Chains A and B, each alone.
Chain A
Amino acid sequence: MDVISQLQRQFIDYTSSLYREGYVDDQFSQLQKLQDESNPDFVVEVVSLFFDDCQKLVQNMAQALEQQNVDFRQVDSHVHQLKGSSSSVGASRVKNACIAFRTFCEAQNREGCLRCLQQVNQEYSVLKNKLQQLFRLEQQIIAAGGSIPMVE
């Protein structure tokens, strides 16, 4: 197998595993469909915005939870925002972590919230690494002169 085919094979396998393991869902493939020659970096751009958003919101949540008197509505509002943007980019594990998080906010359970924050942070970090790997593969394919295969 030549280099391009090998890389493409890797790309397909890696992408499939991301879906299979629930890191991304169908909305992520929607984003990929929105990418074309006129907007070749769309997915990378949106995902980067998402990760910036993640970082900011996680910080806000941490700060809010550190307070003497935790304002759970405030925390919930941040979680709601993160849930929204993770849903929009197809980051399903992050989204699910947010869903669980909200129930602890509603219950005004600080310990539970802190655990969830930990979980959210973990999921976001792992996803970030995985997608960076995916984008690197894409770069390699293009650099080798190949095209990115569509993975349904």
Chain B
Amino acid sequence: MATATAAEVYGTPSDEELHVLAVDDSYVDRKVIERLLKVSACKVTAVESGIRALQYLGLDGGKSSVDFDALKVNLIMTDYSMPGMTGYELLKKIKESSAFREIPVVIMSSENILTRIDRCLEEGAEDYIVKPVKLSDVRRLKEFIIKGELEENSKTRHQKRKQRDEDQPSSSASSSSSSPTTSLSFLQLPAGDDASSSDPPSSPSSPLSQPELLLGSPSKRSKLLNRD
């Protein structure tokens, strides 16, 4: 059994640090949040407005000035009240984008207004932090994001393992029991020649292209494996 590397386990960008995009119009707040994140071992890109944030992500229609793959953003933390584009408007734009809607967005605000909080959460914000932001807030967020990446990556590993097992039929297929949601026993994965007849619809080189097939509904998975 191959041992996973730290990158596979934690699934964060190549240098294994979370990359956070922080958006705040206040220079003082940017400095503080930047430091909070760095002390918590995160990479930070701090920008002063929603427009700049969209530009950084390459969502503003213009060409992004950064190589997005190299600097994948794991979390966006944005102030709510900003001139021009509010944090709420930025949140909406991100959630409307197919490329970035999966990135968790956290709203920061000095105002503890219930209706505002509800609105943000309804629009898809992961969390709403009342300022001032503390180390414990960042720690909590980081744990949450890493956990999310862990689950996403365990899905990837599971899919990869499944693909391997299909390509090389062996009795070890039944030992892929790390599925947190469904037991595999009902599938009765083939140990013999039958395996070669079940060609998975998705290519092995892009396991994430249809993530919902992984650990998803049992019927989908059985469709995948039992096709004749």
Contacts and interface: CB of A to CB of B under 8 A. Distances in A.
Interface stretch (B31-39, B142-150, B171-179): B31-39
A84 B131 contact: yes
B26 A81 contact: yes
A108 interface: no
Contacts of A80: 81, 110
B2 interface: no
A8 interface: no
Interface residues of A, number: 22
Interface of A: 27, 30-31, 33-34, 36, 39, 42, 45-46, 49-50, 53, 80-81, 83-85, 87-90
Contact of A49 (B31, B132, B134, B135): B31
B135 A30 contact: yes
A64 B135 CA distance: 37
Nearest to B28: A85
Contact of B110 (A34, A49, A87, A90): A87
Nearest to A90: B132
B28 A49 contact: yes
B29 interface: yes
Contacts of A85: 26, 28-29
A87 B28 CA distance: 10
A84 B131 CA distance: 8
Contacts of B133: 88
Nearest to B25: A81
Q: Which label, helix, strand, loop or mixed, suits the secondary structure of the B interface?
A: helix
B28 A53 contact: yes
Given A49-B31, A81-B26, A27 B132 contact: yes
B132 A30 contact: yes
Contact of A27 (B27, B31, B39, B134): B134
Interface in B14-50: 26-29, 31-32, 35-36, 39
Interface of B: 26-29, 31-32, 35-36, 39, 81, 110, 131-135
Contacts of A84: 26, 29, 110, 131
A30 B134 contact: yes
Given A34-B36, A34-B39, A87-B110, A46 B134 contact: no
A89 B36 CA distance: 12
B29, B32, B110: most-surrounded residue (chain A CB, <10 A): B32
17 contacts: A27-B134, A30-B134, A31-B32, A33-B135, A34-B32, A34-B35, A34-B36, A34-B135, A39-B35, A46-B32, A50-B28, A81-B26, A84-B29, A85-B28, A87-B131, A88-B26, A89-B32
Nearest to A46: B31
Given A27-B134, A30-B135, A87-B131, A53 B27 contact: yes
A89 to B, nearest CB: 7
B77 to A, nearest CB: 14
B27 A88 contact: no
A45 B31 CA distance: 9
Given A34-B35, A39-B35, A80-B81, A46 B132 contact: no
